[in-house]
Amino acid sequence: DAGVTQSPTHLIKTRGQQVTLRCSPKSGHDTVSWYQQALGQGPQFIFQYYEEEERQRGNFPDRFSGHQFPNYSSELNVNALLLGDSALYLCASSNRWGYTFGSGTRLTVV
Amino acid sequence: TQLLEQSPQFLSIQEGENLTVYCNSSSVFSSLQWYRQEPGEGPVLLVTVVTGGEVKKLKRLTFQFGDARKDSSLHITAAQPGDTGLYLCAHESYNTDKLIFGTGTRLQVFP
């Protein structure tokens, strides 16, 4: 049974560009959350999707947006990239029994 | 915001040593979770503690939830290089499903 799958694993973008990250949740999970993790720090909550709608949002600007599809997969979009957006982006899927994290997408903005 | 402060921030020890990592807050939690994250991977759940004073053991790892449910500790006995990683405590924000993570403790165990 596949866990959470994220793509791509690594990405290099130029400041000002836009990026889309993708996440396929674990089978049986209907909720997807996205986190940003700076090097050596704990993950910070970006937002959560359930039933194709954004259910909760953390303290991130509107440049960060997302989407959830009918098959529960999700995308994270970041516009007008800044150098400070360089981080590991983690997707976590969940149901009432708990969370499973993907291995993340390492985004580098140059 | 229910902050979780972890200490120490970094820990570098030799194989066979014992260590304790702390997770503290001024807030009361219904439960706390502990995760380990290895380089290039996402966090993996180790344990969830629910009851004040609860002690849970996972092989050489011992987890304790404070009596007042405001803090937790993780003790590792006879650390091994395979224990190397980032240890994170987390709680579910009240009345929501989002996880709030602590600041993390980076552990390096040398052979």
Query: Residues B78-97: what's their mean pLDDT?
Result: 90
Q: In what order do the strands lie in the sheet with A74-78?
A: A5-7, A19-24, A74-78, A64-68
Strand duo B55-58 + B5-7: pairing: unpaired
Rounded to whole angstroms, how far apart are CA atoms B57 and B63?
Answer: 6
pLDDT of residue B50: 92
Residues of B with Cβ-Cβ distance to A25 under 8 angstroms: none
How is residue B43 written in tokens?
């966090």
Residue B59, SS3? Answer: coil
The residue that leads in pLDDT, A94 or A81, is A81
Contacts of A92 in chain B (CB under 8 A): 42, 99
Nearest residue in A to B47, CA atom? A98
Residues from B contacting A (CB-CB < 8 Å) are 4, 6, 40-45, 86, 88, 90, 96-104, 106
Cα four-point dihedral sign A43, A97, A5, A49: negative
Q: Does A42 touch chain B (CB under 8 A)?
A: yes
pLDDT in tens, B10-69: 999 999 999 999 999 988 998 999 999 998 899 999 999 999 999 999 999 999 999 999
Q: Between chains, do B42 and A48 touch, taking CB under 8 Å as contact?
A: no
Q: Which of A31, A48, A96, A99 to mutate to test the interface with B (most CBs of B within 10 A)?
A: A99
What six digits make up the tokens of A72?
A: 């529960």
Nearest CA in chain A to B107: A40
